[in-house]
Chains A and B, each alone.
Chain A
Amino acid sequence: MREKRKGPIGRAAGLAGGVAATVRRMQREREPRVLVYDETGYARLVQPDGRGYERLLQTAERMVELVDESEAEAKPRRPRARRADPPGGAE
């Protein structure tokens, strides 16, 4: 049986393990996924190799793009900020 590491190396290893787990969890959360719900609210995951999966992802991506484009258009264009002080200028 391996001894449990203690001291600074053990602590550093524990910290690194925690960071790696967080990164893995974040990557998992960012993965695209498709869920369908029936009338009772029961969720079923559409598998990546399932029928319609790719089409659903493409449709959703296009919908998000449309909203991005609309929001970018609606934002008022701000004029470029002028330099506050010219080089060597007065206060």
Chain B
Amino acid sequence: MAGTLTPERTARRLCELSADARAGVLLDAAGAPAGFHGVTRDRSGDLAQLARATFEAVDRAHRDIPGGPPEQVEIQVDRGTVYASRTPTWTLAVVARRTALSSLMLMDLRAVLGELESGAPIRRSVSAAAPPAEAEASEEAAAGESPVPELGVEDQ
């Protein structure tokens, strides 16, 4: 299928979904890099190694923390935030801006990993920048529009 997400494109997909994501790396179950985005090729190995080290440290830290094994981690430092999420098959880590909203970023991580594993693409709204060609603006169409579009279509 043409639209199926591949491991090579996963980190790029995440950075496209979230404006606050700067770079990402995907690791396979063995911890080997399967795809990256936002860093140069010569630095991608280092980023993958650091992503691996992140969950190693999380698992060490988890011994002191009650609850199930951590699936996601958020580390806020001075100049950015690192988010990482893992499934039994994949680990996806992303470097984001400090202003990123944690809940959205963690949701995007889960969504992209879900898309990679299930093959079902994430539903996205139509971009406002590129309106469909057939929906040309006309006075008649404008007159029929609801002044409060958020409230939905009015009954005629």
Chain A residues in the interface with B (C-beta under 8 A): 30-42, 44, 46, 50-53, 55-57, 59-64, 66-71, 73-74
Contact = CB atoms under 8 A, between A and B. Distances in A.
B47 A66 contact: yes
Interface residues of B, number: 41
Given A46-B65, A60-B77, A36 B58 contact: yes
B61 A67 contact: no
Nearest to A42: B67
A30 B39 CA distance: 25
Interface stretch (B2-10, B68-76, B113-121, B138-146): B68-76
A15 to B, nearest CB: 27
Contacts of B69: 38-39
A63 B73 CA distance: 14
Given A46-B65, A60-B54, A66 B39 contact: yes
Max count, chain B CB within 10 A of own CB: residue among A30, A34, A60, A67: A60
Given A52-B58, A56-B57, A56-B58, 10 more contacts: A30-B78, A35-B75, A36-B61, A38-B68, A56-B75, A57-B77, A59-B53, A61-B79, A62-B50, A69-B43
A89 B72 CA distance: 63
A71 B67 CA distance: 38
Nearest to A34: B75
B67 A38 contact: yes
